[in-house]
Structure 1
């Protein structure tokens, strides 16, 4: 007797799809509407069952499903950013760079991610069109240079607190998308923006830095804004505080005072933060160079001091980032 599949379309924000099936092929076909690279592997058909709900709007989808089976699945998003949480006993999530913490959400962009579980899993995912997400991220931050890729979006969340916030926002967005009977483009846009902001805040330190820089530029006096622009353009070079002050047309002492008054940090601290961000991006790309070489390239003569500043900024060691280790 062939497996039975029930498919429904419901009113809501965007196109709401529900699927109930015991057919493995129907599951893959459904998933691939949202993530074309999705594939199920090592499925036990005797225990297989599938319950799916999703809502899709232009450039953004919310997905929630339950899969009853021992399964291994794989995705390799192209032109997409996906954030996902798999809730299951004995679950495992990994990338070619290392295992992730399966008890936390994870993000996939620029590379394959594989998950497996036993008996049953509840899966929650936010899927964004990458070009649209990048455009919106630039508008949020005011940073036209911000790009979304594996160098700026990590697989693991920045902290457990941000991971928990991502899950709360997922339920809020999913509830609104699935249950609403109105057809409001404004609500759709706001929900998508909220979901993207939360996802990038959870997985992209560069997004947070760009937001912070944007706020600082708006409130800082002109001399400080000039100094910030010079630091960002020359962070990898052997510049000094005197160089920054000269480029900002202000004395070194005056620059120190202006930074303290406007930003409550010193120019040296701002320069160090920019250099840490550059080193972080290089580590996330999986550089073949030793951590000590990367530290020196970004102006840190002491590997131990670099590691301390890095851990303070990112909550993990440089080597953990280079290996792609879960938090």
Structure 2
């Protein structure tokens, strides 16, 4: 069964030492000791910990997790969170992964965090998606959530898992393993558009009939070329109308929708690699005649503009 730890203290050193059991790089800076009070709860499972603590004091903290993936929310009226890449929305959860993250708040804060062993998390996500090259490196997993709905879902999942793990009484290893997987799934869904797309591809490969699987294989191989849906249908050995119907039934999308998404993924990967000089150049190379429509589709898929990705945002 997971190890549960609860404690209260007014000693700043106790807070820092406790945090470092879970995130060795954790440091407290500029602490106002006059109102300092600390209440901690945590549950540690293999490869994963859930942490919730309340801290009364004005504090600045810093972490630089190495070999870890940490998703966190600092609930405080006067909080600020930032990384070397820029300031984050302190009203939402955030991820610390590659590089340092700093936070500060005034008077009082409740901190909620999931801390995963990075190697385990990467192995698990590759098993879930069936994609052996899936990486947790930024920007595969972003510091900010995909949108507010996913952020709210992450917070609900945190409260559920914390309530389950902090509750007294025995639990089976099976239940604890399910809670750990649920936490990872919610975290990746909240912070990684690529994870959602990879899951969809995994489901599609397993569930689609052979004609659709052949069409998908052709689309994956030739997405960067000037292909038509008639070309796809011929490669799949089915009529164009039959292909449209088969895609709708198996995947709830058209072949055109699938091709557009695959081209967006290719453009996204190219911009991350920094091999193109302009958004217009990438849009044309991946079959988008209109840069503005490309930008709209890209923003819908990834939650940011192509220009932001190209500039490393």
TM-score normalised by length of structure 1: 0.85
Larger CA deviation: 247-256 vs 188-197: 247-256
Equivalent residue, structure 2, for 1:208:
196
Give the corresponding residue for 2:217.
229
Q: 1:216 to 1:91 in 2, by over 3 A?
A: same
Please state if 1:51 is matched with 2:39: yes
Task: Give the SS at the match of 2:146.
Answer: coil
| 2:276–2:282 Cα contact (<8 Å) kept | no
- Equivalent position to 2:116, from 117, 128, 135: 128
The 1:144–1:226 alpha-carbon spacing in structure 2 relative to 1, beyond 3 Å, is: farther
Alpha-carbon deviation of 1:244? 3.6
Cα drift, residue 67 of structure 1: 1.6
CA drift at 1:21: 2.5
CA drift of 1:94 comes to 1.6
C-alpha separation between the residues in 2 aligned to 1:79 and 1:208?
23
Query: Pick from 196, 209, 213: which aligns with 2:184?
Result: 196
Question: 286, 296, 304: which is aligned to 2:292?
Answer: 304
1:152-301 to 2 correspondences below 5 Å: 152-250=140-238, 252-281=240-269, 289-301=277-289
Count, aligned residues = 313
1:297 offset after TM fit, Å?
Answer: 4.6
User: How many angstroms does 1:142 deviate by?
Assistant: 3.1
Q: Which residue of 1 aligns with 2:128?
A: 140
Q: Which runs of 5+ in 2 are unaligned?
A: none
Residues of 2 paired with 1:197 and 1:224: CA distance?
27
Unaligned runs of 5+ in 1: 1-12
Distance 1:20 1:291 in 2: 53
1:8 matched to which residue of 2? none
Q: Deviations over 1:271-321 (max 9, x none)?
A: 111222344455567889443344345443422111111223234433455
Superposed displacement of residue 252, structure 1: 4.6
Root-mean-square deviation (CA, aligned residues, Å) is 2.6
2:93 counterpart residue number: 105
With normalisation by structure 2, the TM-score equals: 0.89
Q: 1:77 Cα deviation (Å)?
A: 2.0
Aligned to 1:115: 103
Distance 1:245 1:180 in 2: 58
- Greater relative contact order: 1 or 2 (C-alpha under 8 angstroms, separation 6 or more)? 1
CA contact (8 A) 2:83 2:102 kept: yes
Aligned equivalents of 1:19 and 1:308: distance in 2? 50
Q: 1-side partners of 2:262 and 2:205: how far apart? A: 15
- Structure 1 position 100, deviation (Å): 1.5
